[in-house]
Structure 1
Amino acid sequence: MKIVRWLRRFWDKHGPTRRLKIVEGDALPAILPRRDLILTRDDGDDWSVGMRCPCGCGEPIELMVLKEAKPRWDVRIDESRRPTLHPSVWRQKGCRSHFWIRQGRIHWCD
C-alpha cells in the first residue's frame, strides 16, 4: 500500500495538472471527472467546487465558494485554467486526506 500511495503522490507532483471546468447550475453533476475540478456557476455567481478525492478512494468532495457559506473556500484560476484553492482540504471522515491545491497540483500534508 505504501508504494501505491508513493506513486500517486509522485504523479500528483509530476504528472499533468488538474484543470477547472465550469458548469451552469447550483449542483454538481452526478459523475465527476477523474482528475479535473468542477466549478458550479448560477447566474454569474460561483457556488461550489467539486472533485473526486485525490487519495484514490474516489469519494466526491464538494467545497462551497459562495460568499455567505461557512465553511467556504476561495478559488483562483490562472490563465491556463489551473485552480488554486484556499484553505486546504481536510476530509474529516472516510480517508481523512489533507491536501492543498495550488496551480492545479495536489500538495499533500503529512
Structure 2
Amino acid sequence: MKIAKKIAKWLRDIWAQLGPPRRLRIVRGDSLPPQLPRRDLVLARDDGEDWCVGMRCPCGCGHVIELLIIAEAKPRWDVSVDAKGRPTLTPSVWLKKGCRSHFWIRGGRVHWC
C-alpha cells in the first residue's frame, strides 16, 4: 500500500508542474460557495471588496481551505493575479491539522515547502 501512495503522490506532483496552472474564479458574496472546483481558487467578492479565497487542499485530501484577505483579519493573505490570470498567494499556506500540508501558490502553481 505504501508504494501505491508514493506513486499517487508522484503523479500528483508531476500533474501540478506540467498540468494547466490554477486560475482564480470570482463569486459574488462574502463567503465561499458550498462546492469548490477541484483545482482552481475561488475569490469571494461583495460590493467590490474582496473577503476570502478558498480552494481544495492540493495534496488531494479534499480539505477545504479558506483564507481571509480582508485588511482587518489576522492572519490574512494577499492574492494577486498576473496578466495570464494565474493567481499568487502570500504568505504560504500551512495547515496545522489534518494532512499538515505546507505550500505556496505562485503563478497558478503549487510549490511545496
TM-score (norm 1): 0.97
**Secondary structure, counterpart of 1:62 in structure 2:** strand
Alignment root-mean-square deviation, CA: 0.6
Amino acid at match of 1:3: I
Aligned residues: 109
Instruction: Say whether 1:36 aligns with 2:40.
Output: yes
Instruction: Say whether 1:13 aligns with 2:17.
Output: yes
Identify the match of residue 25 of structure 1 among 26, 29, 50. 29
Instruction: Say whether 1:90 aligns with 2:98.
Output: no
User: Which residue matches 2:69?
Assistant: 65
Aligned-partner Cα distance in 2 for 1:79–1:23:
20
Identify the match of residue 85 of structure 2 among 81, 106, 110. 81
User: Which residue matches 1:2?
Assistant: 6
Aligned-partner Cα distance in 2 for 1:88–1:56:
18
List alignment gaps of at least 5 residues for structure 2. Answer: none
TM-score (norm 2): 0.94
Query: Which runs of 4 or more aligned residues in structure 1 lie more than 2 Å from their structure 2 counterparts after TM superposition?
Result: none
- CA-to-partner distance for each residue in 1:6-47, whole Å, 9 max, x for gaps? 111111111110000000100100000001000000111100
List alignment gaps of at least 5 residues for structure 1. Answer: none
Shift of 1:4: 1.0
- CA-to-partner distance for each residue in 1:52-100, whole Å, 9 max, x for gaps? 0010011100000001100000100112211000000000111000100
Aligned-partner Cα distance in 2 for 1:28–1:89:
18
Aligned-partner Cα distance in 1 for 2:70–2:55:
17
Larger Rg: 2
